[in-house]
Structure 1
Amino acid sequence: MTLKTQSTASLLADRLRAMINNGTLTEGTRLVERDLASQFSVSRVPMREAIRLLEQEGLVDLYLNRGAVVRTLSADDICHIYHLRALLEGDAIFHSVPDFDAESLARAELVHHLLGGANDTEKQGALNLEFHNILYAACGNPRQLLLIAELRNQIERYEHLQRKLLADTPMFQDEHAAILDACRDGDAEKAREMTIEHILSAGKIVLDAVARSAERKSSS
């Protein structure tokens, strides 16, 4: 594959990922390579590679004789993702705290303050992501950070769940404040403990929302 084709495939993957995350491509939707290539005015080669990239990220399933389908996450899938996130993110902040400088701490505190005053859900989501990225950046393990990002991507597409999470921002702000306190104190173990609790509490909200959604569908 040429560099140009690879770049095009990455850009297409970004567009498709955004369509999955914003609900344009819902779970279970078939990704018809020919139709998508026509929609984006590209050849089928980079579109095929873009779909493969999304399959590697866990957003798409590939089936023989059926093609690509936007992956549906079960309650068990969501539970597993959040437990993995808790382990990886807890470990990331544990290793970041010893190298957490004054500038990074100031940036995290600023983002925390901005998040508390944000009313737009898209802005809240971006600030929440930035807050966590700042806290994990010094862990020294880029592969670990990539895995964390990929797991987040698999959850982000549940927009109705994301809106529910953002509605609980005050609770999350308290949890963020506790994490920041541990970072200020240089207490890596406490920071890890609070981060794990924070991620698992978010996972519980998502699981509860999934269960309620399933109940509504079964009764309709």
Structure 2
Amino acid sequence: MPLQSIEPKRLYRQIADQLRALIGKGEFVTGARLPAERDLARQLGVSRPSVREALIALEVEGWVEVRTGSGVYVLDRSKRSTTSSVEITEWGPLELIRARRVVEGETAALAAIHGKRRDFDAMRRAVDAMREQADQSVMPLDGDRAFHVAIVEASGNAVLVETVQGFWDSRYGPLFTRLGGYFETPASWRQAIAEHDAIVAGIVSRDPTAARAAMHAHMDKSHQRYSASWRRARTA
């Protein structure tokens, strides 16, 4: 028998595969509520964020439904005419935030050292655009992207620029979009904008330590927002 190519799988996909197989075998019947995240994490020996990413993937693919304030329930797939799938290369949203913390903490520090007035102006314009969109109850993703790109461009490193832009391309993927649909609210965006103001303050004061710390704090708080209890989803 010829050897089959090996495809490395992201952890959340491995978890989703196990849950999908159990659903297919009838371990969890249509309408059944899955165990709580903490219980699944304990049984699988993984983190709760990884379980959450797996559940979001299963929801995107039509296997389960997340009911805020109640739980995650198995759907009847026999009546579905079409199905969605998550690309095998898509990063998990919470894992992506952790990676961004590492990289963008350093790009913020570099921006404080190497940034020029035009870079600082671009950061401020991006935050102003975010604030204007948020005040209109529009998700300010474009301004958010422009802000983080302005920071990395101030570093003067083309590899880092492409890396951060790649992070943002993943930000628009179905997993992050679905997860954001539960936890991104006008209140959460106002919090993020205030965190951006702190990052700008560290950068324009030419304080790389403060800039790095402010970016780390922003990413930590972002991770906390997306990791909150489902009962807190969609609350202002």
TM-score class, shorter-chain normalisation, is: 0.5 to 0.7
Provide the secondary structure at the position in 1 that maps to 2:111. helix
Provide the secondary structure at the position in 2 that maps to 1:189. helix
CA distance in 2, matches of 1:158, 1:187: 34
- The sequence identity of aligned pairs, in percent, is 13
Q: Tell me if 1:161 matches 2:182.
A: yes
2:206 alignment partner in structure 1: 186
TM-score of the aligned structures, taking structure 2 as reference length: 0.53
| Alignment counterpart, residue 200 of structure 1, candidates 206, 220, 223 | 220
CA distance in 1, matches of 2:151, 2:203: 9
> For the Cα contact (< 8 Å) 1:95–1:138, is it kept in 2?
yes
Gaps of 5+ in 1: 1-22, 37-50, 59-76, 214-220
- Displacement of 1:194 in angstroms is 0.3
Matched to 1:173, the amino acid is I
CA distance in 2, matches of 1:172, 1:56: 28
2:123 alignment partner in structure 1: 108
- Displacement of 1:195 in angstroms is 0.5
CA distance in 1, matches of 2:90, 2:94: 17
CA distance in 1, matches of 2:182, 2:142: 16
Provide the secondary structure at the position in 2 that maps to 1:158. helix
Where is the helix percentage greater, Structure 1 or Structure 2?
1
Are the structure 2 counterparts of residues 159 and 177 from structure 1 closer, same or farther at C-alpha, using a change threshold of 3 Å?
Answer: closer
CA distance in 1, matches of 2:165, 2:143: 19
Alignment of 1:10-21 (within 5 A): none
- Displacement of 1:205 in angstroms is 1.0
> For the Cα contact (< 8 Å) 1:88–1:148, is it kept in 2?
no
Are the structure 2 counterparts of residues 175 and 105 from structure 1 closer, same or farther at C-alpha, using a change threshold of 3 Å?
Answer: same
CA distance in 2, matches of 1:144, 1:212: 32
CA distance in 1, matches of 2:126, 2:161: 22
* RMSD over equivalenced CA pairs, Å: 3.1
- Displacement of 1:87 in angstroms is 1.1
Q: Deviations along 1:52-86, whole A, 9 cap, x unmatched?
A: 9x43233xxxxxxxxxxxxxxxxxx5543322221
Are the structure 2 counterparts of residues 157 and 128 from structure 1 closer, same or farther at C-alpha, using a change threshold of 3 Å?
Answer: same
CA distance in 1, matches of 2:207, 2:104: 15
Q: Considering only CA atoms, is the larger Rg found in Structure 1 or Structure 2?
A: 2
- Displacement of 1:146 in angstroms is 4.3
Q: Tell me if 1:88 matches 2:103.
A: yes
